[in-house]
Structure 1
Amino acid sequence: MLNGFREERSLIADACRVLAGRGLADGILGHISLRVDEESLLVRCRGPRERGLGHTEVEDIRLIGFDGTEALPGELDGWSVPNELPLHTAVLRARDDVDAVVHAHPPRIVAADLAGIAIRPIIGAFDIPGTQLAAGGVPIYPRGVLVRNQLLASEMVAAMEKFPVLVLRAHGLTSAASTVEQAVLQAISVDTIAGLSIDILSAGGTLRDIPDEDMAELPNLGAGFNTETAWRHEMARINGIVASRS
């Protein structure tokens, strides 16, 4: 039986399915966390019926301490914490502006980075939040390792600095935000830019950042549109995928 936080657990489970539906975590690897307080977090764990992120259930979201132990009795009965839990806790400890962390293995982001393609503001109104995120910079953690201890996690956090998204070379990405929805949407935007960059170069084109005057014309459409409406779309999208399979 789950010990509270039903709404938050449901949100994280939905977010895992969104990542999978978008192709950012279509296997069994990846996880999302949400800070509960200064000592504990909700995080996707592996349970007795593990089938991958696309099949995440509310019961897979467990309440644990930052040290990896269960925060309440029974939380880890039959479930195991992610090997890369330090990736989450290091970001949450270092960043007061962050309450949610997404870690995923998007193939297009990995491929773009290994090909030497940086995440750049090559698009404009096509995806305004994504453009602005890319213009702010997307750093790279250059080690293709499993971030499974505090030393490696500290290295990763140092590389990430105060940026919202970090590419992990030969591995994936970490996205950090104040909400689960925002962290997932950031990851989707970066993946979209990576995919477009690969397509453009494959077609013989050249990547060009949009000019400053165009960047200055891009409005902030607000959280109601950028996050809330976008998230309703993502939920409708995965519900549609489920319906089409049934």
Structure 2
Amino acid sequence: MLTPASTELRSRRELVAHACRVMAGRGLADGILGHISLRIDDRRLLIRCRGPQERGLGYTTPDDVRLVDFDGAEGAPGELDGYSPPNELPLHTELLRQRPEIDAVLHAHPPDVVAADLAGISIRPIVGAFDIPGTRLAAGGVPVHPRGVLIRNRRLADEMVRSMADRPVVVLRAHGVTSAAATVEQAVLQAISVDGLARLSLRIVSAGGTLLDLPDTDLAELPDLGAGFNTDTAWRHELARLCGVVASKPL
């Protein structure tokens, strides 16, 4: 049972829970794998934890999102009663420590991203108006962290942060992807774009095609449609789409 003080974070717990379900609905993570965090202050974060009635990422509720400190201890009395933070909590906390401009971290295991990287296919700006935010992200570069390990301590997390540098997304070889942003919504949407580019790349190569980057002249013509469209409207779509996916599932 959460304390009255902790229930003040209810809206932010709901946001993280919705993001987890969007991530699962989009196929970025299957089963019980994957997690999203949101910075609360300089020493605490909300993160999806594993509880006594674990059902998987696609069934995350606000009660599954718990307040912990950067060392994994409970961030308020009762927060970890029956719950435990993910083993890869350091993946989140090290990013939040080293990059003050971000407040949200997503970690997922999208199969197409993993497969594309293992096939030697990098995330590149191969499309244009098909996905403008994704194209811009890819044009800036999506680095690859070469170690396929469970990022369970600060040393391993620091290695990942170094591979990621100042980029919003890093591919983790034979593992998955980490996306970091100022907001939970943006972190999720970035991961969706990277997954879409990976899936298209695999389809093109499988069909015998050759991947070509969008010409610089075309890239320069792509407008910035603004956060109101790229993030706010896109997020409303993801929530509406999620409702449709959930409604179609048997209880």
* TM-score calculated relative to the size of structure 2: 0.97
User: Superposed, which structure 2 residues align to 1:13-32 within 5 Å?
Assistant: 13-32=17-36
- Kindly indicate whether residue 210 of structure 2 is the aligned counterpart of residue 206 of structure 1: yes
* Match among 118, 123, 129 for residue 122 of structure 2: 118
Superposition RMSD on alpha carbons, in Å?
Answer: 0.6
CA deviation profile, 1:209-241 (whole Å, cap 9, x unmatched): 010000000000000000000000000001011
Residues in 1 aligned to 2:49 and 2:116: alpha-carbon distance in whole angstroms: 29
User: Superposed, which structure 2 residues align to 1:55-204 within 5 Å?
Assistant: 55-204=59-208
Q: CA deviation at 1:90?
A: 0.4
* TM-score calculated relative to the size of structure 1: 0.99
Matched residue type, 2:98: A
- Kindly indicate whether residue 229 of structure 2 is the aligned counterpart of residue 225 of structure 1: yes
Match of 2:37, SS state, is strand
CA deviation profile, 1:63-108 (whole Å, cap 9, x unmatched): 0000100011100000000000000000000101100000000000
Match of 1:167, SS state, is strand
Match of 1:62, SS state, is strand
* Match among 223, 227, 235 for residue 239 of structure 2: 235
Q: CA deviation at 1:245?
A: 2.5
Residues in 2 aligned to 1:215 and 1:20: alpha-carbon distance in whole angstroms: 31
Match of 1:173, SS state, is strand
Residues in 2 aligned to 1:232 and 1:208: alpha-carbon distance in whole angstroms: 32
* Match among 29, 33, 37 for residue 33 of structure 1: 37
Residues in 2 aligned to 1:48 and 1:58: alpha-carbon distance in whole angstroms: 14
Matched residue type, 2:234: A
Matched residue type, 1:126: F
Residues in 2 aligned to 1:185 and 1:45: alpha-carbon distance in whole angstroms: 22
List runs of 5+ in structure 1 lacking aligned partners. Answer: none
Runs of 4+ in 1 over 6 A off after TM superposition: none
Residues in 1 aligned to 2:79 and 2:249: alpha-carbon distance in whole angstroms: 32
Matched residue type, 1:112: A
